[in-house]
Structure 1
């Protein structure tokens, strides 16, 4: 069962001449998981989660499992935690690569064989994550890195290979004629977790549909992670910068797996847990699209009395969020302005489909 398949985000861009005057977003209808999960034994839901989420299934399952374990005051071994982090990283690489090629190299016939080989290797690695640090998996990760290199993805810290399919795609996005000023941007990180965790099980029933942090709506995802990790200065940016952040992250995570997937060199905050009171807890998982939250409240019999979740899409496609800030005031200089706006929306990688419409604002 895929609860996200029937939902879409609807985006309408209002234009005054070639300037984006405003952006209207009709958000997706979030799946009613709180109602579906209520009254059920927590442990019985864990195997159902991958069937409920078509995307980031391992991240969703890990978030729920971690929240339940924390609510029960269970202690998790370092080996189990390392295994889960390796699983999340492997799935993140898979999802980032899928979006990279499905969204940017779909029509590149010359790259089709390399892409198929890459996705096959990634799928095999996802199916055997418990041995991610063993020699066979290291060899598989090395093959993945080689396949990425053939498509132009560099080793960590290097530039895209000139003339490669991905370098040409980045160049095309840079020429798309839409750049945004770096105004009032913020980025979601583990520092925000506890505040969000408390609000998930708080009294505000609208928080998960329309979240904010003291009035701000931060961006989450590969570009936000890069900006937070490397402390880069804000500058005019757009779809090309988010694509490069995705490419850099794939290369960096592959290098971590190939080096043995050690806990002491893992990215900070991939899986975090928060105790919120007796039988109450939340978990945060850094997945491909950004930071994912699950929160649970268990009754005395171990049944779920309340469940809340908050996905990256609710931040990035908020009515006052990153997409609106990215587009509002932008000048569309390219003749194919629809493609330029479409690329910005796709760069935020919503977990559901979207529609895009334009409306010209005319003087009376």
Structure 2
């Protein structure tokens, strides 16, 4: 979800006798969108949005246009709402599936042909959805679900024994890096009022280092699953996030195949909030989690202030989900890089990352 500029997240794990003593995160350099957009006509900004964002372009565009419309007190037609939600859902399916195959099945030679075919289908799906509302969603989503079945996914989202995805999940479990989810908060649409009120306050650091009353919740597929259908507390980690990703792909494909109706859409997939005269915010549930845009318009209708808050700022916060997942975990010397890398990848940062280890006595 980042503009196509070079930036990375740097993660350093400090070890004491192969136990994670602490985790240091140097966050990415956020793109200077507030400075770029200030003084611009909204139409000019909206026209460049697809070129600015290499990932989640539909979600970014929808968040901004929804915030602008709300600031102008405009009413969005039902057909437009349906089209926007469908675009976001299609983009989520594409991004979740790409991350699944690229991140977990890249080296699986036996599944290479199936993965290449599906990736080609996903690419065409995403491109066509941007230009034509009549794309055959039922046909394409059926092929996506069938491809997942070939790779080992049962209809309900579990893994067929000895299938490529089952073996992948088993390998993640073997890494042995799990944490207790007790008091682990998850971001949801219910948090929007608190967050949107803070986006345009004078202190801009909230968008760089957000929190909710001191807590830093997780956002993304696992958070959506836990919010929708809370599970009993148990250890969790990369394999649970992998499963949540697959379950969500299947669920979203079913929604598209059933007609993509607004009244059956996911709760809070797009939220809009009026913050005062000429001021508004919007939230969009995209692949990596909940995205926020906020705008203030001047008397001439130009953008006088813009702020955005991406899922990565929550998941890779210095006190966020990654740190909670890693701190206190015991790692074997042979597999420690793979184990930590898997946890980072399961949170799916919107930019690249580096990872290094230091022994505590060297820190």
CA drift of 1:363 comes to 9.4
CA contact (8 A) 1:271 1:283 kept: yes
CA contact (8 A) 1:154 1:251 kept: no
CA displacement, residues 95-118 of structure 1 (integer Å, 9 cap, x when unaligned): 000100110011112212211211
Gaps of 5+ in 2: none
CA drift of 1:241 comes to 0.7
* Number of the residue aligned with 2:5: 5
CA drift of 1:127 comes to 2.6
* Number of the residue aligned with 1:194: 193
Indicate yes or no: 2:154 matched with 1:154: yes
Question: CA separation in 2, counterparts of 1:271 and 1:135?
Answer: 22
Aligned CA distance change for structure 1 residues 27 and 135 (closer, same or farther; 3 Å): closer
Question: CA separation in 2, counterparts of 1:208 and 1:184?
Answer: 23
* Number of the residue aligned with 2:241: 242
Indicate yes or no: 2:20 matched with 1:17: no
Indicate yes or no: 2:359 matched with 1:356: no
* Number of the residue aligned with 1:36: 36
Aligned CA distance change for structure 1 residues 150 and 334 (closer, same or farther; 3 Å): farther
Aligned ranges for residues 259-338 of structure 1 at < 5 Å? Answer: 259-333=258-332, 335-338=334-337
Aligned CA distance change for structure 1 residues 135 and 38 (closer, same or farther; 3 Å): closer
CA drift of 1:134 comes to 5.4
CA drift of 1:139 comes to 1.2
Question: CA separation in 2, counterparts of 1:301 and 1:363?
Answer: 58
* Number of the residue aligned with 1:176: 175
* Number of the residue aligned with 1:78: 78
Question: CA separation in 1, counterparts of 2:216 and 2:67?
Answer: 24
* Number of the residue aligned with 1:205: 204
For 1:181, what is the secondary structure of its paired residue?
Answer: coil
CA displacement, residues 142-193 of structure 1 (integer Å, 9 cap, x when unaligned): 12221221112332x2421222111110011011121112243100000011
Gaps of 5+ in 1: none
For 1:362, what is the secondary structure of its paired residue?
Answer: helix
CA drift of 1:126 comes to 2.0
Question: CA separation in 1, counterparts of 2:157 and 2:49?
Answer: 38
After the TM superposition, which of the residue ranges 123-132 and 75-84 deviates more from structure 2?
123-132
* Number of the residue aligned with 1:91: 91
TM-score (norm 1): 0.96
CA displacement, residues 258-305 of structure 1 (integer Å, 9 cap, x when unaligned): 121122221111011000011100000000000000000011111100
CA drift of 1:334 comes to 6.4
| Equivalences, count | 362
Question: CA separation in 1, counterparts of 2:310 and 2:89?
Answer: 17
CA contact (8 A) 2:88 2:286 kept: yes
CA contact (8 A) 1:282 1:295 kept: yes
TM-score (norm 2): 0.96
After superposition, the CA RMSD in angstroms is 1.8
Aligned CA distance change for structure 1 residues 38 and 134 (closer, same or farther; 3 Å): closer
Question: CA separation in 2, counterparts of 1:127 and 1:235?
Answer: 40
Question: CA separation in 2, counterparts of 1:30 and 1:274?
Answer: 24
